[in-house]
């Protein structure tokens, strides 16, 4: 009987040792699992703007584009050889095309909707991406403002208010013919500047909605 009890106790001690060794191995190789730590990827990220997904799309395109460039090096070299035989007229056209792309158009899916285009413009402003902002202007606004003038106006505003921090759309967008207008509240990085209410005007064009000359472009006091 005593022998059976000793045998049972030995098995029990052996099982406990195996269990302790198993726990030690799990703790060594998977510490976050044992301690119940949260993975940083599981944390919820709060986005101020619903259109922040546009940034994710552009990031994904850039990542894919880098792989595409590395895999198409031979094709790029062939294109260079062909370009050597281009006429001056072709080169002039491509130069103009390059200058136009310097101020990128908003994504087509964004430009289809007036409110989406407005959020896009505001987000570019928050990121100080003036070239993309300029690309979102209507043709009439671009005729009134060269990019240099447009950029200078925003730089002057930034010196005073520190740039745009956030914005709110107040009410619904109202359609007036080919235009939409809506009131916005702009909050700036300089905490001494109170929120400012402005009127945004968007114009429908064959390429989608664009920002027209309105409260989203700083006032040009020099030419009043």
Other CB atoms within 10 Å distance of the CB of residue 161: 18
For residue 128, give its domain range.
108-217
In tens, the pLDDT along 70-106 reads 333 333 333 333 344 555 655 555 555 555 568 999 9
Confidence band, pLDDT 50/70/90 cuts, at residue 170: very high
Q: Among 17-26, 101-110, 176-185, 207-216, where is mean pLDDT lowest?
A: 17-26
Query: Residue 166: what pLDDT?
Result: 93
More confident residue, 29 or 33: 29
In tens, the pLDDT along 47-59 reads 345 544 445 444 4
**CATH code, domain carrying 195:** 3.10.450.100
Q: Which two tokens stand for residue 181?
A: 């207008």
Query: Residue 80: what pLDDT?
Result: 35
Q: What is the mean pLDDT of residues 130-155?
A: 96
Q: Is residue 209 in some structural domain?
A: yes
Q: Among 4-13, 163-172, 190-199, 200-209, where is mean pLDDT lowest?
A: 4-13
Q: Is residue 206 in some structural domain?
A: yes
Q: What is the mean pLDDT of residues 117-139?
A: 96
Query: Residue 33: what pLDDT?
Result: 41
Task: Find, among 150, 140, 163, the residue nearest to 218 by Cα.
Answer: 150
Q: What is the mean pLDDT of residues 189-198?
A: 93
Cβ neighbours for 212, distance < 8 A, ≥ 6 positions apart = 137, 138, 140, 141, 179, 201, 202, 203
Question: Would you call 44 helix, strand, or coil by DSSP?
Answer: coil
Q: Is residue 95 in some structural domain?
A: no
Q: How many domains does one find in the chain? A: 1
State if pTM tops 0.85.
Answer: no
From CA 119, how far away is CA 136, in angstroms rounded? 11
Q: What percent of the chain has pLDDT over 70?
A: 58
Question: Would you call 188 helix, strand, or coil by DSSP?
Answer: strand
Q: Is residue 166 in some structural domain?
A: yes
Q: Is residue 17 in some structural domain?
A: no
Q: What is the mean pLDDT of residues 150-179?
A: 92
Q: Is residue 32 in some structural domain?
A: no
Q: Is residue 205 in some structural domain?
A: yes
Q: Is residue 34 in some structural domain?
A: no
Top-confidence range, 1-5, 6-10, 28-32, 52-56: 6-10
């Amino acid at each position: 009987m005593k022998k059976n009890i000793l045998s049972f106790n030995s098995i029990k001690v052996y099982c406990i040792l195996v269990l302790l060794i198993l726990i030690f191995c799990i703790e060594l190789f998977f510490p976050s699992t044992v301690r119940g730590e949260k993975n940083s990827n599981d944390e919820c990220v709060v986005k101020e703007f619903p259109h922040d997904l546009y940034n994710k799309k552009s990031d994904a395109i850039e990542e894919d584009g880098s792989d595409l460039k590395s895999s198409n090096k031979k094709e790029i070299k062939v294109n260079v050889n062909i370009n050597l035989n281009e006429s001056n007229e072709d080169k002039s056209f491509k130069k103009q095309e390059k200058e136009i792309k310097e101020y990128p158009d908003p994504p087509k899916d964004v430009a289809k909707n007036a409110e989406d285009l407005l959020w896009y413009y505001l987000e570019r402003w928050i990121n100080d991406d003036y070239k993309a902002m300029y690309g979102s202007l209507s043709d009439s606004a671009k005729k009134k403002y060269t990019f240099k003038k447009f950029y200078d106006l925003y730089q002057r505003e930034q010196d005073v208010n520190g740039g745009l921090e956030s914005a709110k759309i107040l009410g619904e967008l109202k359609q007036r013919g080919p235009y939409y207008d809506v009131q916005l509240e702009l909050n700036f990085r300089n905490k001494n500047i109170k929120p400012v209410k402005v009127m945004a005007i968007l114009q429908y064009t064959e390429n989608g909605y664009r920002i027209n000359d309105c409260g989203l472009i700083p006032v040009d006091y020099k030419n009043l």
